[in-house]
Every structure is written in C-alpha cells, then in structure tokens.
C-alpha cells in the first residue's frame, strides 16, 4: 500500500484529545449533578437520557473523522499488473565530481550546472534506460541501469566531491566503469554522456574511448566551465573562506579543456558540446537521440496503484448520516440491555 500525503496522518492525534475532552465533560457533568442534588433524583428528572447513546455518537464522530483523515492521506493499493514493452536505448551519465567542478566560472558552479543539464536531459527522455557514474581520480557506480527517472534525479542532486576519495580527474576510469553498465551481447544502442571540465590528470582516455567504440558504445561529451577558468572556492556553511592552493601556496586556477573531451567523442563517432547554454545542450542531445536506433526492451511487470480515498470518504459520510437519526434518548432494546447499569433493580438481593 502507498500513501500519497503521509503528513495528514498527524491529524489522527486529534482523536485521543477528543476522547479525553469527552471523558472530562462526563466527569464535570457528574460533579455538577452531585452539587445540584442526589444523583438518582437527578436521573429521574431526565429518565430518557442515555449515556450509551452519548458514547455511541462520540464513537461515530471519531470513526467519521478518522475516515476523513485517511481519505486526505489517499491510500493506494496495487490492484493489477500488466506487461509493458518499451523502445529506447541505454544511456549512462558519467558526471565529474572532482574539486575543480566546484569552480564558479559558470553559474552557479560547474557541478551544479552539470546536475541541471543531466536532470533536464532526463526530463526529455521517453522510454530509455539510464545509469549514473560519478568520477574524479577514480570512478564510482552511483545508480545501475534503470527506468526510474525520479530516483535517478534524486541521486543526481546528491552528488558531491566527497563521493570519491581520490581527487583529480580520470576520464579513462569513467569510460571503463560506464562500459560495464551495458550488456555485452545486447543489441540495444549504447550511449555514454560524459560531463566534465576536461582537466584529465590521467593517461589513456583516448585508448579507453577506442575500446568503448569497439564495444559499440557512442560517447557524447559535455564541457562545463570556461577556458579563462577560475579559482576553486573552499566553503564553510556556504561561505567562501579561502581558495584551493597548490604546493607553492599559489591559488589554483582551473580551466575548461575542450580538446581532451573532443578527442574522446571523436574516437567513438560521437560529439562534443559546450555546456554553458543548457538549451543548446538539450537540443544537441535530442538531435543525437533521434538519430540513434531504438530497440525493444524485454517485457517488464508494472503495478498500477489505484486511489482508495473514495471508500473512506463514503464511510465517513455514511456514519455522519446515521448520526442524524441517532437521538440521545434511550431505545427500548438498549434500555433492556442496561449496558451502563443505568437502571438498578427495584428488588436487590
């Protein structure tokens, strides 16, 4: 069962509060009756008054209130499963999370810009499967191939330099790890979208790209940053305290290196695009996807969740409707049951 609006469950706390108020009200009435006179004499003044009916009306009100709250929560229950066939390609996003991506030469920063680009690309996908890799000095698997775009975007937003222990930028490690996401014998088209500032601190990115090309993998590279570059801010609680410095205590200036990214893309007959303008990147990716052959994935089982709020709403209104006809006077069959010992025997033993 799924709950749409779990926050409304806190409203159920009203129910015990109402019960306490009701019990206090009963106590207060009894106290006042004792002050007025003898309890038995007071009862004879209103012989048709039923304590049971008062309790029953409260129970009905509380049940109706509980049903209304559950209706607000909107519970959903899986009622059926169906086989769905999808057509698309497999895409892996490899995002550079090295410290140089914290540079703010492109607003709000290279890393945040990368996250925006990936999220926007995911938004325009149809039935494609996607995976996510993070990399710096080494590569780290973030999300395996999936069709759950919501989860993918959640993981994208959580990416940061702390995910990878070794710093630097190793493009070859990113390509090698991303290649393992794809099934070797699969006929599904494979695409790697690699996002970086291009400052590669390793060797072998070109050879890794050539190996990927042999495996049928196409790579599109997106360069994020400016060729003029900028310093790497070191922040504490969102406030810049200093800038990254090298061994000579000089402020490190990091620059976009598009040539290394273009070389990787060329090795797989892919393409390179500058990530400064998100709209241009999206158009470029869309055109690239339109020219890639789509294949049919294996059938997958999906469960449809149907809203059940209408049942609880109906029960709540039915209970309130019953309450209209429920007077606080005693009824004959309830009177005979004497549930609350309201009538004492005239001939006690």
* Per-residue pLDDT tens over the stretch 216-266: 899 999 999 999 999 989 888 778 888 888 888 889 899 999 999 999 999
Q: Give the highest mean pLDDT range of 25-34, 164-173, 216-225.
A: 216-225
pLDDT per residue over 63-113, tens digit each?
Answer: 989 999 988 888 877 655 566 677 788 999 999 999 999 999 999 999 999
pTM: 0.62
Q: 293 and 189: one domain?
A: yes
- Provide the pLDDT for residue 348: 46
Q: 205 and 141: one domain?
A: yes
Q: Is residue 311 part of a domain?
A: yes
CA distance 268 to 291: 15
**pLDDT band at 144, cuts 50/70/90?**
very high
| Residue 235 · residue 243 · CB < 8 Å | no
**pLDDT band at 302, cuts 50/70/90?**
low
**pLDDT band at 282, cuts 50/70/90?**
very high
Q: Is residue 348 part of a domain?
A: no
**Beta-sheet strand order (sheet of 2-3):** 2-3, 75-84, 300-307
In total, how many domains does the chain have?
2
Q: 154 and 67: one domain?
A: no
Averaged over 279-300, what is the pLDDT? 83
Q: Is residue 347 part of a domain?
A: no
Strand pairing category for 75-84 and 87-88? unpaired
Shortest CA distance to 116 belongs to which of 197, 224, 221, 220? 224
Q: 26 and 152: one domain?
A: no
CA distance 168 to 171: 10
- Provide the pLDDT for residue 345: 46
| Residue 97 · residue 331 · CB < 8 Å | no
Shortest CA distance to 281 belongs to which of 67, 83, 123? 123
Q: Is residue 126 part of a domain?
A: yes
Q: 91 and 110: one domain?
A: yes
Q: 46 and 152: one domain?
A: no
Q: 287 and 311: one domain?
A: no
Q: How is residue 97 annotated by DSSP?
A: -
Q: 262 and 282: one domain?
A: yes
**pLDDT band at 43, cuts 50/70/90?**
low
Q: 40 and 151: one domain?
A: no
- Provide the pLDDT for residue 166: 75
Q: Is residue 326 part of a domain?
A: yes
Question: Half-sphere exposure of residue 67, counting CA atoms within 13 Å on the CB side?
Answer: 17
What CATH number did the domain enclosing 262 receive? 3.40.50.410
**Which domain range does residue 323 map to?**
2-79+306-337
pLDDT at 349 over 50: no
Please state, rounded to an integer, the average pLDDT across all residues of the chain.
Answer: 82
pLDDT per residue over 125-143, tens digit each?
Answer: 988 899 999 999 889 999 9
Averaged over 25-46, what is the pLDDT? 68
**pLDDT band at 273, cuts 50/70/90?**
very high
Tell me what percent of the residues of the chain surpass a pLDDT of 70: 80
Q: Is residue 346 part of a domain?
A: no
pLDDT at 28 over 60: yes
Q: 202 and 187: one domain?
A: yes
- Provide the pLDDT for residue 87: 77
- Provide the pLDDT for residue 266: 93
Would you list the DSSP string of 236-263?
ETTEEEEE-B-TTSPBPEE---HHHHHH
């Amino acid at each position: 069962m799924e709950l749409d609006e779990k926050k409304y469950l806190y409203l159920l706390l009203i129910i015990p509060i109402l019960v306490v108020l009701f019990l206090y009200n009963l106590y207060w009435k009894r106290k006042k009756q004792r002050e007025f006179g003898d309890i038995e004499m007071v009862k004879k003044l209103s012989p048709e008054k039923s304590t049971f009916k008062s309790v029953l009306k409260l129970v009905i009100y509380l049940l109706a209130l509980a049903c209304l709250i559950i209706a607000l929560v909107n519970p959903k229950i899986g009622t059926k499963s169906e086989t769905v066939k999808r057509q698309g390609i497999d895409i892996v996003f490899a995002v550079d999370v090295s410290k140089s991506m914290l540079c703010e030469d492109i607003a709000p920063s290279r890393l945040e810009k990368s996250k925006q680009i990936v999220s926007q690309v995911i938004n325009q996908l149809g039935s494609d499967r996607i995976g996510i890799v993070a990399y710096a000095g080494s590569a780290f698997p973030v999300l395996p191939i999936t069709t759950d775009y919501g989860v993918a975007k959640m993981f994208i937003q959580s990416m940061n330099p702390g995910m990878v222990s070794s710093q630097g930028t190793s493009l070859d490690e990113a390509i090698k790890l991303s290649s393992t996401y794809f099934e070797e014998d699969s006929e599904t088209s494979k695409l790697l979208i690699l996002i970086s500032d291009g400052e590669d601190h390793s060797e072998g990115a070109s050879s890794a790209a050539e190996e990927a090309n042999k495996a049928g993998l196409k790579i599109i590279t997106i360069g994020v940053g400016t060729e003029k570059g900028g310093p790497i801010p070191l922040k504490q609680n969102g406030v810049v305290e200093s800038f990254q410095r090298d061994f000579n205590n000089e402020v490190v200036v990091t620059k976009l290196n598009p040539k290394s990214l273009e070389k990787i893309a060329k090795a797989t007959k892919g393409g390179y695009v500058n990530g400064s303008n998100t709209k241009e990147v999206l158009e470029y990716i869309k055109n690239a996807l339109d020219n890639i052959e789509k294949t049919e994935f294996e059938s997958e089982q999906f469960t449809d969740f149907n809203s059940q709020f209408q049942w609880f709403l109906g029960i709540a209104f039915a209970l309130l409707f019953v309450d209209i006809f429920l007077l606080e006077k005693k009824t004959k069959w309830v009177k005979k049951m004497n549930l609350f010992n309201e009538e004492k025997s005239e001939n006690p033993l």
